Amino acid sequence: MCIAYLALNAHPDWPLFIAANRDELHARPTLTAAPWMSHPDVIAGKDEVAGGTWLGISRTGRFALLTNFRDLRLQGPEQPVSRGELVKNFLTGNQHADTYARAVAQQGHRYQGFNLIVGQAAQAVYVGNQTANPHDVQPLGSGRYVLSNHLLDTDWPKTERLRELLGHFPIEHLERSINRVFELLKDTTPAPDHLLPDTGLDLERERLLSSPFIISPNYGTRCSSVIAVHRNGRAIFSELTYNPQGLETERHDWHWSIQ
């Protein structure tokens, strides 16, 4: 996943709202969001190469999302553990989010750069191995957050663009307007060159990756996802997948009550 908007207790009716795009190589095999055969309570997509995932929620309300930290100049571990395991292990486990995040922080050196948010209902914790103090975790209070391929709430043009687009979205009408969320997530507005981040890529590549939604033949936005939990426990997970041309291919919607 490469960009996610997270609203925690920002609306009285919907204490949890996540809207996200996952960017990946089009050739990398991936399963679309569905209950896992090995853990039927978990609803998530799955990376068929390493077996992990980037975003998911359980029927009990445990949720997690992951982004890679992008800086080609960083030196990672020689034999890194798959970052998708971080989401998978939380969703399939039973540790409290804070306890889990603190354990991850102690093992962050085993992974390439990552950002991880884990939570239960409308409580969440952020941890990343490229923060100023990677052994610390950050409890997330009520508010709106955007996470891309740098630190939480880094003001990259694409994060500020998504914050602006979704910050005005009327969450109270969510169930009738999820299609509108997908439309907003499909924003392909590039950043002007003078605002592009420097992550070690060439200028053309930085331009390509500077929009919330990415279209290119080999790499781009593979799916958009919406996760939301109503104050009465009603939960939604909707996923829309795309081909290399950015055209919709599949739609999956899951509705249940948090147990």
Domain 3-257 has CATH 3.60.60.10: yes
Question: Residue 176 pLDDT > 90, yes or no?
Answer: no
Please give the Cα distance from 210 to 248 (Å, whole number): 21
- Distance separating alpha carbons of residues 206 and 204, to the nearest angstrom: 6
C-alpha to C-alpha distance for 226 and 182, rounded to whole angstroms: 8
pLDDT at 237 (0 to 100): 98
Q: Which residues pair with 139 in a beta bridge?
A: 125
CA distance 221 to 226: 14
Pairwise CA distance, residues 240 & 106, whole Å: 35
Q: How far apart are CA 124 and CA 141, in angstroms?
A: 8
**Dist. CA 139–CA 135, nearest whole Å:** 13
Cα–Cα distance for residue pair 172/74, rounded to 1 Å: 42
pLDDT at 86 over 70: yes
Q: What is the mean pLDDT of the chain?
A: 96
Answer whether 0.85 is exceeded by the pTM.
yes
Q: How confident is the model at residue 170 (pLDDT cuts 50, 70, 90)?
A: confident
CB-based contacts of 161, cutoff 8 Å, min separation 6:
187, 189, 211, 212
> 6-47, pLDDT tens digit by residue?
999 999 999 999 999 999 999 999 999 999 999 999 999 999
Phi-psi region of 246 (alpha: psi -120 to 50; beta: other; left: phi over 0): left
- Report the pLDDT averaged over residues 117-133: 96
